[in-house]
Amino acid sequence: MTINIGSAIPEVTVQRLQSGVENINTRDLFENRRIVLFGVPGAFTPTCSERHLPGYVEHFAEFRRRGVDVACMSVNDPFVMQAWARSLSVPDELMMLADGNAEFARALGLEIDASAYGMGTRCRRFALLSDHGVIRQLEVEAPGEYRVSSAEHMLTLLD
C-alpha cells in the first residue's frame, strides 16, 4: 500500500557512501528535520541523469534557504550512487541514499517491476516533503512522466 500525506516515514535501513558505507535508519534520518526526498528509477538512466537530479542540484541552495534538506533515493548500491553524484557534481550536503534491495521503496509502496527493461524491482519516480518524519506533500509520477516530482514543482509546495 502506498503511503499518504499524514503517514509516518517507514523505518528501514538505507545506505550512503561517505568515508565508508554508512547504514542509515530512515526514522532517525527524517525525525528532526524537513526533507524533500525524491526517488528515481535508476542512477545514470536518461531522465534521472539529464533532468531529475540536475534540477535538484540547480535548486539545492533555494531548498536550503527555505530550511529544507534534500535527499535522492534509488534502488542502486551506494557505490553507484556516489559515482552518479560525482558525475553530476552533486553537493555533498544533498544526500544520495542507496536502497539496494528496494526495502524503502516497498515500505513506501512505491516499488515497480522494471524486469521488462532488465532492471528488476525499482522505485517509482516521486517526491515527498517530510516534516519531522511525517509526510506533508507527496507527488507520484504517472508512468513515463516527469513533472510533479521535479525540484521546480516541489519548491512551489513549500510554505
Q: Amino acid identity of 155?
A: L
Q: Let me know if 72 is a catalytic residue.
A: no
Q: Amino acid identity of 36?
A: V
- In the set 9, 37, 48, 85, the catalytic residue is 48
Q: Which long-range contacts (CB under 8 A, 24 or more apart) does 19-28 make?
A: 21/78, 22/78, 24/97, 26/104, 27/133
Alpha-helical segments (H) within 18-122: 26-31, 46-47, 53-58, 60-65, 78-87, 103-108
Q: 57: closest CA among 30, 34, 85?
A: 85
Cα distance between residue 55 and residue 121, in whole Å: 25
How long, in residues, is the chain? 159
Q: Amino acid identity of 101?
A: N
| Dihedral angle over CA of 71, 23, 28, 108, nearest 10 | 60
* Positions marked catalytic: 48
